[in-house]
Amino acid sequence: MEMITEGTDQYAQDSYAKLFEQILLEMGITNVLEKVRILIRADDPLFVVSVKMRKAAGAKPIYDVAQLDDKEGGVMVSITDEGYAPRLLALLWKTFGRDRVEQLTRFEIYIAGATRMDLWEMRISPEEELKAQVLDAIWKLVPEGLKIRHTFSSPDVMTIANTEHGFQPNWLADAEKLHHEMEAD
């Protein structure tokens, strides 16, 4: 992971780079990010974090995390890897609608009007969850007092600009420029 910091306060740049590394390490998501840029202008105050995600590898087929059994009128999904349960349920809701998906117990889901072959090709992508974890890491990093925020988002780059009272137009322009530079990298 490449980490670049810029700004007006050298101590803050060094310490926040180290803090972010420690936060990512603690959350076990160091290898999720390809590049990080942090812009700190404490006098304004402006704090911009921009992260470029690596392409998420390893979308799991549904049969790797659950057992599929055809039943009368539907299919029974028995979850074998609980870590994937929330994402699996969300995927089933999205595909079949909430009316047809019934969660019987913590590990058992029944889908009415479907067969195991309908589910066979489905894959669970870790991307959304990783994005949520990266966002959580960013919220942990951003100084608590900088409550006014603006975000720029594209498929693999997230940029969050933070200030205390309100953005000056050129601050947001600087943050947007940084976002586009990260996209172009």
Indicate the residue among 23 and 56 with the shorter CB distance to other proteins: 23
Name which of 141, 178, 129 is nearest 158 in CA terms.
178
With binding defined as CB under 8 A, does residue 16 bind other proteins?
A: yes
Could you tell me the smallest distance in angstroms from the CB atom of residue 174 to other proteins? 18
- Residue 3 found at the interface with other proteins (CB under 8 A): no
- CA 112 to mean position of chain CA atoms: 31
Closer CB to other proteins, 16 or 96, in the complex: 16
For residue 140, the Cα-to-chain-centroid distance in whole angstroms is 14
User: Are 1 and 22 contacting, i.e. CB atoms less than 8 angstroms apart?
Assistant: no
Q: Whose Cβ is closer to other proteins: residue 22's or residue 80's?
A: 22
Segment near other proteins (CB under 8 A); pick from 105-113, 120-128, 137-145, 166-174: 137-145
Residue written as token pair 């942090």? 38
Are 37 and 16 within 8 A, CB to CB?
Answer: no
Q: Does 143 bind other proteins (CB under 8 A)?
A: yes
Contact 29, 53 (CB under 8 A): no
Tell me which residues touch other proteins (CB under 8 A): 9, 11-12, 15-16, 19, 22-23, 26, 40, 42-43, 45, 140, 143-147, 164-165
